[in-house]
Structures are given as structure tokens and as C-alpha cells.
Amino acid sequence: MHVNQNNESFFLEELAQHTDDPKIVGEKLIQFCEHIKKANRIYNLTSITNINDMLIKHILDSLSIKEFLKGRDILDIGSGAGLPGIPLAITTPRKFFLLIDSNNKKITFLNHVKISLDIENVNLLHKRVEDLSHDSVFDTVICRSFASLRKIFANAEKHLKKNGIVVAMKGKYPGQELKELDKDVEHKTHKLNVPGLGAERHAIIMYKK
């Protein structure tokens, strides 16, 4: 295992806010990071190659939106390396996640992760969100670094159940993107606290009036 002991202790302490069993769940999330590191050369999953950094910049960052998840059925658009979908699925086993990505190699990687880590509440689909069936509807649509807010909502809207929401993860406050949203899109902005991360992070919650 390539995790510094101090980093692991810090990670498990923070993880305790998201699960009743941080030791077992933490081990699974560390293994997930090890899968990313091992597969990164083949699949080009992330620019972050140090597992200690992944635990903060990928795992704790993904979990920073956990409190906003609404309902049981969650769609992760452009999931890539499985972020934020995999960490959220592992820590919320009673919710069901569909992770989609247009890159089939990334879906192949995620299928390996799903089987290796025995994650039962995740399904995977090689598809662009624009081509996803209109019959597929969800309580919450999530995405991390996928596109502009306007484009995210345009792609997600038809897949929302009644009263469903979109949770878009962004870095710095996206003032210009918020101005470009259509007038009928309600939104709330939340500044995220990612333990150990100095950079700004925000979640934009969007829904129809």
C-alpha cells in the first residue's frame, strides 16, 4: 500500500463523517485509488499520480457533495475515472448509481473496478449523455468538471424525475457561467469544504422553477 500513515489516519478521520465503518470503506477507497494509479498509464485517467493526493483531491472532493444527493437514483455524467460516482456509491450503498462516459476505455476500467471491489449499486454505460434514452430518469444528476453549467443542465434536464436536481462540481465561483444560465433554471451555490485541499471548490445545485 502506497499511503503515508499520517495521510491514512487523516483520511480515515475525515471519512468517519461519511460512513459508519471508515476502516472497511476506507480500505475499499484506497484500493480504488490504487486501481486508478495502476491503470493510469493505459487509460489516461488523471493527472494526479500520488495516492496520498488522490485521497484528498479525488475521494474527499467527491464526497463533499454527498449531503446534496437527493432520492435513490443517481446519474453521473462523464464519470471518467469514476469521479464522483464511485466514492459516493461506496459510501451510500442504498442509493443506485449509473455512471456514463463516452470513452469506452474508461468504462472498461470502471467495470474492472466494480468487479474487483464488489460494488453492487453501480451500473456502467458507454454512451454520451446526449444519446441516453429519455426513459432514463433520475432523482439527482451529478457531474465533475464536465462542461459549462448551461450545457450541463441542457443535457441533464430531460433525465430528471419530477423535483429532481443537478449537482455540478466546479472549482472557483463560476460567476460568468451562472449568468449564462437560462432564466427558468433555479440554482443555489454552495462553497465546499474539502479537508486538506487549499483550492476553492463549489457545488451548483440546479433545478427547474
pTM of the model: 0.96
Place of cell 449568468: 179
Residue 81's identity, in one-letter code, is A
Q: Which domain holds residue 133?
A: 5-208
Q: How far is residue 77's CA from residue 7's CA, in Å, rounded to a whole number?
A: 30
79 near 85, Cβ under 8 Å? Answer: yes
Number of domains in the chain: 1
Q: Which residues contact 14 (CB under 8 A, 6 or more apart)?
A: 60, 195, 196
- The domain that holds 111 is classified in CATH as 3.40.50.150
Residue 84's identity, in one-letter code, is P
The pLDDT, as a whole number, for residue 202 is: 97
The pLDDT, as a whole number, for residue 2 is: 65
Give the number of C-alpha atoms closer than 13 A to the C-alpha of residue 194, restricted to the C-beta side.
23
The pLDDT, as a whole number, for residue 209 is: 77
* Average pLDDT per block of 10 residues along the chain, 209 residues long: 80 96 97 96 92 96 98 97 98 98 96 98 96 95 92 96 97 96 96 95 94
List the one residue out of 113, 29, 127 whose CA is nearest residue 78: 127
Cα separation values, 140 from 5, 22, 63, 163, 164, Å = 35, 25, 15, 9, 6
The pLDDT, as a whole number, for residue 5 is: 80
Count of other CB atoms within 10 angstroms of residue 81: 25
